[in-house]
Structure 1
Amino acid sequence: MSEKLQKVLARSGHGSRRELEATIAAGRVSVNGKIASLGERIDADAKVKIDGRDVAIKPEDAVVCRVLMYHKPEGELCTRKDPEGRPTVYDRLPNLQGARWVAVGRLDVNTSGLLLFTTDGELANRLMHPSQQIEREYAARIFGEVDEAMMQRLRKGVQLEDGPARFTTIKRAGGDGMNQWFHVTLTEGRNREVRRLWESQEVRVSRLMRIRYGSIQLEQGLPHGGWAELTLDQINYLRSLVKLPAEQRSFIDPRKQDTKQRRFARARKANAQIRQERNPGKAGRSDQDKPASSRSKRREPSLEQAFGVTDNPRRKGPGGRAPTGGSRKPAGGSNKKDRR
């Protein structure tokens, strides 16, 4: 049975459908020795090349869908390669054999937080399609006066240069004076949409972090630049959102129960290796990896402190409360491990 070329390549992990359509249109793909055309259908035994290199075409039952949760730091670009040599979100991801990671959407260079990657280009393509209306949640620090009338306008909708837009929900989340924290949700992924919505009301977003995609939450303790592989249940939740059949296999061995701590430890090790490669003459950790006690104090809590997404579960959020899920001493006694 023949299938569209871009769909087969996306499923086989060679990029998202959108990326592959552009690649085919540019004449970079050949099928059985001839330059391919957009929308061309191929059989399972077709010989396909991209930029003159043979690529593997996998049948549907041979593809294992994997999804990573990545904690994007500010300053990283959502592109595979940057001509200026700046860091990208792909630099720290684990290597793959015969496939590649496809980003599910993008985050602005100055936005941090949850970014999903998958080996299934068809899953990525469907999740990114505007018709899916998948809810995204952001934590934002706003500089300026925000009153109830402004929040109501943003819920109702405002006109941006590329059409009307609105927040589904807006909730205050702490802060004093001209710097206040908010949780906002929307169901689109337009370029810089959260920032542009706030800027339409003549206030400024000084920090922005995505903390949820659908029901997938950014895990507490996942360091900046760290990644964690999603469980089979989480992967099938995403597949069910876009009406794809459930995946039956997982790279997380249920017998060994690959824990968050072990995955996070691997992420921290990868971070250290990348820093050493970029700065071979410098030793030590970057400022964001240092203990909180060694950093300079700030008047305002960091965005990670404010919403409980932090490298250090003991760090406190607004009002001096420990973030949800942080480690606490058990009531009624001490714990020897706490004193180590």
Structure 2
Amino acid sequence: MSEKLQKVLARAGAGSRREMETYISAGRVSVEGKTAYLGDRVEGNELIRVDGHQVKLKPLADDLCRVLMYNKPEGEMCTRKDPEGRPTVFDRLPKLDGSRWVAVGRLDINTSGMLLFTTDGELANRLMHPSKQVEREYAVRIFGEVNEAMLQTLRHGVKLEDGTAKFQKITYKGGEGRNHWFHVVLSEGRNREVRRLWESQDVQVSRLIRVRYGDMEMKRQLPLGGWTELNLQDVNYYRKLVDLEPETQSKVKVDEKAMDNAKSRRIRRSVKKHQHRSQQATRRRR
């Protein structure tokens, strides 16, 4: 049975379905040597190339959905390669054979916190799509005076350059002077949406941390720059959330503790080793 080309490419780990649609529209995808177009369907046994590189296709039955939770530090780019040589969120992730990690949305360079990666491009696409209404929660430190009228405006909707946006929930978390912490919830991931909403009220976001995606919160013992693979139950939570069939297998051992102190220490050591190698590479480039 044929499937949409972008769906087949997403399942193969070439990128999210939305990214693949952009690639196809730009003429960067070919099928059997001919430029592909949006709307094309394939059987899954064709020779497909993206930017001239052959994509190793995966039959639906052979695809194993894996999901990572990553604690993104500030200063990392949500791109595979940065032309300016800045570190990216993909630098620390485990290597894959015949597949690749797809980021579930993006966080800008000055935002830290919970970022998900998966080998299933269809899962990534659905988790990002506004129609699924998947909640994202952020901890935000605001510099400036905030009053109830401003909060009501942010709850009811603000007209931005790409349409009206609003926070579904705003919770005050304390502060001193002109610095105040809030937790905000929204269910879409437009570019810099949280910052732009606050800036529309003439206040500045001085810190932004994603703390939740769906009902799953960032694991507190996961250090900045560290990642952990979700177990089968957690993977299937996200799949059920966006109406996908449950996965039956996992790379995570059934008896492995979710995040004990020993595992947290191993992750921290791995992060430090990566930082040391990155610093050495930077010095060599200089």
Q: Please tell me the root mean square deviation across aligned C-alpha atoms, in Å.
A: 2.0
The answer for the alignment partner of 1:29 in structure 2 is: 29
- 1:200 maps onto 2:182 in alignment: no
Where 2:280 maps in the other structure, the secondary structure is coil
Unaligned runs of 5+ in 1: 284-340
Query: For 1:263-292, what per-residue CA distance to the aligned partner results, in whole angstroms no more than 9, with x for missing partners?
Result: 534432332232222222899xxxxxxxxx
Question: Structure 2: how far apart are the matches of 1:50 and 1:159?
Answer: 37
**Contact residue 276 and residue 282 of structure 1 kept, 8 A:** no
More displaced 10-residue stretch of structure 1: 55-64 or 265-274: 265-274
Code of the residue aligned with 2:161 in structure 1: it is E
Distance between the aligned counterparts of 1:203 and 1:35, measured in 2?
48
Match of 2:61 in 1: 61
Answer with 200-209 or 34-43: which moved more: 34-43
- Sequence identity of aligned pairs in percent? 61
What is the deviation of 1:261? Answer: 4.1
Q: 1:14 to 1:265 in 2, by over 3 A?
A: farther
Tell whether the 8 Å contact from 1:67 to 1:116 is kept in structure 2 after alignment. yes
CA contact (8 A) 1:92 1:270 kept: no
TM-score (norm 1): 0.78
Separation in 1 of the partners of 2:111 and 2:282? 27
Once the two structures are TM-superposed, the CA of residue 209 in structure 1 deviates from its matched residue by: 0.4
d(CA) in 1 for partners of 2:35, 2:137? 43
Report if the CA contact (8 A) 2:12-2:55 is conserved: no
Q: How does 1:88-99 map to 2 (within 5 A)?
A: 88-99=88-99
Aligned CA distance change for structure 1 residues 33 and 233 (closer, same or farther; 3 Å): same
After the TM superposition, which residues 192-271 of structure 1 pair with which residues of structure 2 at under 5 Å, given as runs? 192-257=192-257, 259-261=259-261, 263-271=263-271
SS at match of 1:86: coil
Q: Structure 1 residues 160 and 38 mapped into 2: Cα distance closer, same or farther (>3 Å)? A: closer
Inter-CA distance 282–135: structure 2 relative to 1 (3 Å threshold): closer
In 1, the alpha carbon distance for the partners of 2:50 and 2:189 equals: 29
- Compared CA separation, residues 238 and 107, structure 1 to 2 (3 A): same
- Write out per-residue CA displacement over residues 10-32 of structure 1, whole angstroms, 9 at most, x where no aligned residue: 11211111222222333333323
| Residue identity in the other structure for 1:159 | K
**1:132 match:** 132
Amino acid at match of 2:129: H
The one-letter code matched in structure 1 to 2:209 is M
Code of the residue aligned with 2:244 in structure 1: it is L
User: SS state of the match for residue 279, structure 1?
Assistant: helix
TM-score (norm 2): 0.92
> What is the rounded CA distance, in whole Å, between the counterparts of 1:259 and 1:168 in structure 2?
30
The alpha carbon displacement at 1:47 in A equals 2.3
Kept after mapping to 2: 8 A contact 1:227/1:264: no
8 Å Cα contact 2:137/2:211 also seen in 1: yes
Shift of 1:56: 1.5
Deviation at 1:125, TM superposition (A): 0.9
Q: Is 1:4–2:7 an aligned residue pair?
A: no
Q: Which has the larger radius of gyration?
A: 1
How many residues get paired? 283
- Distance in 2 (alpha carbons) for counterparts of 1:89 and 1:74: 10
Q: How does 1:1-340 map to 2 (within 5 A)?
A: 1-257=1-257, 259-261=259-261, 263-280=263-280
Higher mean C-alpha displacement, 15-24 vs 27-36? 27-36
Displacement, 1:191?
1.1
Once the two structures are TM-superposed, the CA of residue 120 in structure 1 deviates from its matched residue by 0.3
Higher relative CO (CA 8 A, sep ≥ 6), structure 1 or 2? 2
1:252 and 1:258 in contact (8 A); partners too: no
CA distance in structure 2 between the aligned counterparts of 1:281 and 1:263, rounded to whole angstroms: 27
Distance 1:257 1:224 in 2: 20
Q: 1:145 to 1:53 in 2, by over 3 A?
A: closer
Taking the aligned partners of 2:50 and 2:266, their CA distance within structure 1 comes to 32
- Report the Cα distance in structure 2 between the residues aligned to 1:260 and 1:48, rounded to whole angstroms: 43
